[in-house]
Amino acid sequence: MIHNPILRGFNPDPSVIRIGTDFYAAVSTFEWWPGVRIYHSRDLAHWRFHSSPLDRVSMLDLTGVPDGGGVWAPDISYDGRRVYLVYTNVRARGAMFQTDNYVVTTDDIDSGVWSEPVYLNSLGFDPSMFHDTDGRSWLLSLDNHYAEGKRFNGLYVQQYDTERRCLTGELRLIYREPHGELVEGSHIYHVGDTYYLLKAQGGTGPRHSAQLSRSRSLFGPYEDCPFILLHSRDNKSLPLTCAGHADIVDTPAGELYMLHLAKRYSSPGKCIFGRESCIQRVERTPDGWLRLADGGENPYVEVKEPQGVEACEFPPEPTCFDFTKCASIPDCFQSLRVPLDDMASFSERGLCLCGADGLQSLFSQSLLARRIDEANVTVSTTLTFEPDCEKHLAGLIVIYNTSYWYYAYVTRSEGGEKCVSLLGCDGGRLLYPSALVPISEDVPVTLTAEINGDTLQFSYCDGGNVRPLGGALDTEMFSSVPGGFTGTMAGICCQDLYRRTKCAYFEKFDYTVRT
């Protein structure tokens, strides 16, 4: 059986393709750099990180994007020759979204070589590319015009010339949702003489869903399916909630599977992981619609593996790192908005992070973090840091975005003592869960964060006994972030709010899941 979620931790908005016997899924990364994470599988049950294609600033500039902005809902597609990745860079949220849409391509997804981006349009977010059976390709866009209170103003298609690498011809309206629901994350499929339109509807919260429409023509009119393909709307006790935003892939044997996002509770009523990617089996009904193969409309935690596909487990990905022996940043880490080319380096002393902006900055932070994907985990780091003043800080952070975090850090007091302390931020309001605690000079410091579903407890060790840093903190802050689209991350960072020259050396980073 396949056990959901298949991509655990913050991995939302899956889009999936099959090339031969290999499956590739792309997920959103929002303000985290590099942009888009692609995962690879050979059996739909076991997945491993494959690549982050948007790894050049010329492809993706996240400087200054708002929390929850950046890369929304990438779409990966394959026309039999070339792989296309369509993505949005959301540079402003609110009444006037700034949604710039691009496409990059590769002739070999395993090569890691992607083209420079082609600007497509700024017509809404979540665009996708559809390659029709006649050889033509089309860009599917939504209009999220907010004038007069509208949140969704229709789905549009325009032909994409794959040789000239540009949109061409007329922009045509093909669908308007008749019940006033927000529509996003849409994909088109051409099967036989029917075009199917798969849409995410109802917003990305408890009323999220995946719904289907169909037409004899690409340009409509589209008939809505009489039932919902997938949702979690009718049962608050479901282990997978907020199910929706889906994409469909076939197996070599012709079975159909649907990847979708959902949320999983880290403790009763709380979800600190963010939205994750899951999978369901789907099948055609006698009257030509699609439904869940196991019945009903709610997501299943256990899903039958595809027929005729040999199980292929990958070696476990490392979670603990000795940075004194590393030469590059491990794949599980991402930085916040900017690449750390000028702020990170490796030596026999470990990973050197040069101090940059403060933790509420949308521009140039020196911060690396990985996803928290289980409810009971211990995260720790050992660092050598000799601050000169209170404007020098370095340490261990648990963060959702620039407005929601807890930070255990080493600094120097106004009186000149080297200290460790704890700082928090709840919706932009600073919290002070711990006073400054003096520690030893010229000694590596180990900082630890222990998450137990409901609570988060920091501790420190400066060569002696392990001591708690502040009291137990409620993880609710990471579960109910207003407008939050990402998930909780844990990592390391360094700030120099004086001259941007003070560096910290991180010897190790350990992430351990406790049973």
Q: Computed from CA positions of residues 391, 346, 373, 88, in that sequence, does the dihedral angle turn out positive or negative?
A: positive
Q: State the catalytic residue, choosing from 184, 255, 374, 450.
A: 184
Name 262's bridge partners.
276
What span, in angstroms and rounded, lies between the C-alpha atoms of 489 and 466?
Answer: 23
CA distance 393 to 360: 14
Q: What is the DSSP letter of 7?
A: B
Contact 170, 139 (CB under 8 A): no
- The H-or-E segment that residue 478 falls in is helix 476-479
Measured CA to CA in angstroms, residue 401 lies from 272, 336, 451, 512 at distances of 12, 9, 18, 22
| Chain-centre distance for alpha carbon 416 | 41
Active site (annotated) includes residue 426: no
DSSP E strand stretches across 135-255: 137-142, 155-161, 166-175, 183-191, 194-201, 209-215, 223-224, 230-231, 240-250
Give just the sign of the alpha carbon dihedral 465, 469, 475, 481. Answer: negative
Catalytic-residue membership of 390: no
**Nearest 5°: phi and psi at 501?**
-125, -20
Answer yes or no: are the C-beta atoms of 469 and 382 closer than 8 Å.
no
Q: Tell how strand 2-3 and strand 302-303 pair up.
A: antiparallel
450 bridge partner residues: 378, 457
| Integer Cα distance of 236 and 178 in angstroms | 26
Burial classification of residue 414, based on how many CB atoms lie within 10 Å of its CB (0-12 exposed, 13-18 middle, 19 or more buried): exposed
Q: Which residues are catalytic?
A: 13, 184
